Amino acid sequence: MSLREEIISVSRQLLLKEGFGKISMRKVARRADVTATSIYLHFKNKDELLLALVEESILKLGSELKAALKPDSDPIEQLKDLANAYIRYALDNPQEYEIIYMVRPEEMPKYPKEKFQQIRKVYELIAEVISRGKEKHLFDVDDELISAYTLWAQIHGVVSVVLNKRLDTRIPREKFLDQAVDHIIQGFVIQKTPV
Amino acid sequence: MSLREEIISVSRQLLLKEGFGKISMRKVARRADVTATSIYLHFKNKDELLLALVEESILKLGSELKAALKPDSDPIEQLKDLANAYIRYALDNPQEYEIIYMVRPEEMPKYPKEKFQQIRKVYELIAEVISRGKEKHLFDVDDELISAYTLWAQIHGVVSVVLNKRLDTRIPREKFLDQAVDHIIQGFVIQKTPV
DNA sequence: ACTGTGTACTTAACAGTGTTAACCTACGTT
DNA sequence: AACGTAGGTTAACACTGTTAAGTACACAGT
């Protein structure tokens, strides 16, 4: 294993054990049995190191979503499965999820798009499901890519409130999550009032 | 002005100018013309200082929402106004908004509830609108408090994606926000298919 | 008038942070 | 044999949050 890989592996361990906020160059270096400055031979700075972890986490999230997508279900069920898989991943792997949104390198705006093509693939996965539902006249959407982002954002918000411990203590977490998913999905489907 | 107030005021200035991540005890102290240790006479630690700023921001957000609520509109319109006011506040005051969600004191779980009663009032503002809509058979909700949290969470997610610059460059921001609000509101209303 | 108490502040220090400049050393190529 | 370079090192800079100990001063009780 190259030192670069070793550094990432050690950083990952630290991420899982203590969260991304407690990753420090010196701590990583110590566990990789090198000096802190050596890391700079393989990563431009700390942001780039963390970004490597972000990429890994996005990939993992993407594969979880892909695994949750049953190809024969109807689009509404598929969307629900995707939402629940997303929530499950986030709550089961809070550290790995958080780093995706919490790390914001300074140069983010002008960051090479290639780095984010993996995340686009995830969006397109959602967009496809929405497209299929639109064809079947199940979903009431205008632009499916925008809708995919909207769906993602809404679920992220729900997850984020739970992870940030901002949920009212009176509200049971599971009930909140279930009801949130219902509302979110309902925002996309065309509803037919049973006459 | 007491030193405590002066410290908060200076911290606020720093928050607005550089964001919450760049607030440091020594920087605050320097601008308040005292030493860093003096801050500890008025705040238990940095988290408590930041929490004071969080409270201020929540209060401000709350009053913006209250101002946006036209008492004579129908609940659907009211909900839309609240959502848009929320988004406007967050995008116009990113630093003040971010600190609300980004600061997570270690002892958050067991944090005194009183501190968060202001934010509860905001939730209850939303919950009331939802309740009124429920009475008028406009909204399809189970528990209105949970729905209020859900709505909040969804909007936060949408805002957060924009603020974190995670929005696809192909997607125009305004269109995304409009469509997101539409979807979110639609998730709450009972739709009647025009026969 | 003298002593004591408490408040509000300071200085000095600890243990850590990201990052850079300068240096060293071993290996592969010419 | 000489050179260049890849991959590491040490030392240092300028920060960070936080604590222990010390100081200066106002006010109260005797």
Put simply, the answer to whether A186 touches B185 (Cβ < 8 Å) is no
Q: Residue A191's closest chain B neighbor by CA?
A: B191
**In the prediction, which pLDDT does A193 show?**
56
Q: What is the pLDDT of residue B102?
A: 86
Residues 6+ apart with CB under 8 A from B98: B19, B20, B163
Q: Which of B63, B60, B59, B38 is nearest to B49 (CA)?
A: B38
Distance measured from the CA of protein residue B37 to the C1' of nucleotide C13, in angstroms: 13
Percentage of chain A lying above the pLDDT 90 cut = 82
- The pLDDT tens digits of the residues spanning A83-98 come to 999 999 999 999 999 9
Chain B partners within 8 Å of A184 (Cβ): 154, 187
Residues B155-168 have a mean pLDDT of 93
CATH of domain A46-186: 1.10.357.10
Distance measured from the CA of protein residue B19 to the C1' of nucleotide C9, in angstroms: 29
Q: Do B183 and A183 make contact, defined as CB atoms within 8 angstroms? A: no
Which chain A residues touch B156 with a CB distance below 8 Å? 157, 160-161
Contacts of B51 (CB under 8 A, 6+ apart): B103, B105, B115
Report how many Cβ contacts below 8 Å link chain A to chain B.
134
Which of A145, A149, A159, A160 should we substitute to test contact with B (largest number of B Cβ atoms within 10 Å)?
Answer: A149
B41 touches strand C (CB under 7 A): yes
pLDDT (0 to 100) of residue B192? 64
Residues A11-25: what's their mean pLDDT?
A: 97
pLDDT of residue B64 exceeding 70: yes
Top-level CATH class of A1-43? Answer: mainly alpha
How many H-runs (helices) and E-runs (strands) does chain B carry?
9, 0
- Per-residue pLDDT of B23-40, as tens digits, reads 999 999 999 999 999 999
Of B169, B180, B190, the CB nearest to A153: B180
Hey, are the CB atoms on A191 and B195 less than 8 Å from each other? no
Q: What is the largest CA-CA distance in chain A?
A: 72
For B53-186, the fitting CATH number among 1.20.120.420, 1.10.10.60, 1.10.357.10, 3.40.50.620 is 1.10.357.10
Structure tokens at B44: 């238990």
Nearest residue in chain A measured CA to CA from B151: A180
CB contact under 8 A, A123 and B168: yes
**For residues B3 and A115, what is the distance between their CA atoms, to the nearest angstrom?**
47
Tell me, what's the pLDDT at B120? 86
Q: Rounded CA gap, B40 and B164, in Å?
A: 32
B37 strand D contact, CB < 7 Å = yes
Instruction: Give the integer Cα–Cα distance in Å for A90 and A98.
Output: 8
Average pLDDT on A41-59 reads 95
pLDDT of amino acid A76: 97
Sign of CA dihedral A8, A12, A13, A17: positive
**Boundaries of every domain in chain B:** 1-43, 53-186
Mean pLDDT of A173-185: 97
Nearest to B145 by CA among A37, A176, A189, A66: A176
Is strand D within 7 Å of residue A41 (CB)? yes
More confident residue, A31 or A107: A31
Determine whether the distance from the CB of A35 to the nearest atom of strand D is below 7 Å: yes
pLDDT at A168: 86
Evaluate if residue B154 carries a pLDDT over 90.
yes
For B160, which of A146, A156, A188 is closest by C-beta distance? Answer: A156
Does A36 contact strand C, using a CB cutoff of 7 Å? yes
Q: pLDDT tier at B193 (50, 70, 90 boundaries)?
A: low
CA of B59 to C1' of D16 (A): 30
A187, closest residue in chain B (CA to CA) = B187
